[in-house]
Amino acid sequence: MIELKGKPVADFIYQQITSELQSWKSSGWSLPHLAVILVGADPASQVYVQHKQKACEKLGFKSSLVQLAENITEKDLTEKIKQLNSDSSIDGILMQLPLPTHLDAKKFSDLIAKEKDADALTSSSLGLLVTGQQIIASCTPFGIIEMLDFYKLNVAKKNVLVIGRSLIVGLPLFHLLTQKNATVTLAHSQTVDLKSRLKEFDFVFVAIGKPEYFKPTDFKKDAVVIDVGIHRLENGLVGDVSSAGAAEHLSAFTPVPGGVGPTTIALLMRNTFKLAEKNRKFAT
């Protein structure tokens, strides 16, 4: 079984960005600048934001953390996003999710200017993805595609299942896989008798949000299973799929932690780089 670790994929992406940044010095361009909005003090969100800041530091990007109170009003959050949109020094904006329950994540994601939408979650960015015109795509799904390419796992003409239809993972991944010429089925919470159908698919991408909901033998023998889930239990971090017995049954599997996570952050850096590149070229 191939263990699909994310760090080698992320390191490859960082090397590409570093190489491309060399030409910026002769052009006199300022390095990319990412602003991250963090509302509240959720411990997991704080950790994720720290990882993103460290990635910026590693590449020499400028990063700004906009930390806001958990009880911030809709009006004040709207004003803050508008300020960041109008700041010409900022190339990319990412709003760390989830937001507190009184704030509508989709509504506020859509307030981010499309030319600064570093996680490609605005309706404009998703529309470009659906029509195959995207320059960037949502970080986690795009990271999964990079992982498939890195490990030379070809989904073309394969029967592929995506479990989960969120705007962050499932739906963007559906379209990215379709662009790769996979035959894609999208399952979700209303899919009837899902477990009985799993063995129909060569590749399964699991973002169901339930710890260890599936076991490796639920899937087709020698299937490729990409586990997007991550949950903190008493015995540590686990995914949506139990890892016990994966090596004997699957041909490739993502560990949790250490699988999809590192590629998500790397793609955020690439997205920020691409937005900054477009911004610099537009200004010249």
Residues, the chain, total? 284
Check pLDDT > 70 for residue 284. Answer: no
Q: Which of 16-25, 58-67, 220-229 has the lowest mean pLDDT?
A: 16-25
Q: List pLDDT tens digits, range 145-183.
A: 999 999 999 999 999 999 999 999 999 999 999 999 999
Q: Are residues 155 and 108 in the same domain?
A: no
Q: Which of 64, 96, 113 is the last residue of a domain?
A: 113
Strands annotated E in 58-163: 62-68, 92-95, 159-163
Please indicate, yes or no, whether residues 207 and 96 belong to a single structural domain of this protein: no
pLDDT at 282: 76
Candidate from 4-8, 81-85, 233-237 with smallest mean pLDDT: 233-237
Angle (CA) 17 36 273, round 5°: 20
Q: Do the domain assignments include residue 129?
A: no
- Residue tagged active-site, from 52, 116, 220, 274: 52
Among the listed residues 91, 117, 119, 240, the single catalytic one is 119
Asked if residue 143 and residue 253 are part of one domain, the reply reads: yes
In a domain, 83, yes or no: yes
| pLDDT digits 0-9 by tens, 102-139 | 999 999 999 999 999 999 999 999 999 999 999 999 99
Residues 238 and 143 in one domain: yes
Strand order in the sheet with 33-39: 62-68, 33-39, 92-95
Residue 134 lies in a domain: no
Count of structural domains, the chain? 2
> Could you tell me if 151 and 231 lie in one domain?
yes
Please compute the mean of the pLDDT values over residues 197-210 and round it to a whole number.
Answer: 96
Q: Are residues 86 and 176 in the same domain?
A: no
User: How far is residue 277's CA from residue 24's CA, in Å, rounded to a whole number?
Assistant: 9
Q: Could you tell me if 43 and 95 lie in one domain?
A: yes
The pLDDT confidence band at residue 261, using thresholds 50, 70 and 90, is very high
**1-15 pLDDT tens trace:** 999 999 999 999 999
User: Would you say residue 283 has pLDDT above 80?
Assistant: no
130 domain-assigned: no
Tens-digit pLDDT profile for residues 49-59: 999 999 999 99
CATH number of the domain within which 102 lies: 3.40.50.10860
Measured CA to CA, the distance from residue 263 to residue 65 in angstroms comes to: 21
Bridge partners (DSSP) of residue 34 are: 63, 92
Annotated catalytic residue 52 = yes
| Catalytic (active site) residue 274 | no
Is residue 249 in some structural domain? yes
> Is 181 in the same domain as 240?
yes
Active site residue 117: no
Q: Which domain holds residue 53?
A: 31-113
Cα torsion for 84, 90, 95, 100, to the nearest 10°?
Answer: -30
Residue 170, domain member (yes or no): yes
Q: What is the mean pLDDT of residues 181-210?
A: 95
154 and 241 part of one domain: yes
12 domain-assigned: no
In a domain, 91, yes or no: yes
Asked which of 113, 148, 176 is the last residue of a domain, the reply is: 113
Distance CA 40, CA 133 (A): 35
Give the separation between CA 25 and CA 260, rounded to whole angstroms. Answer: 32
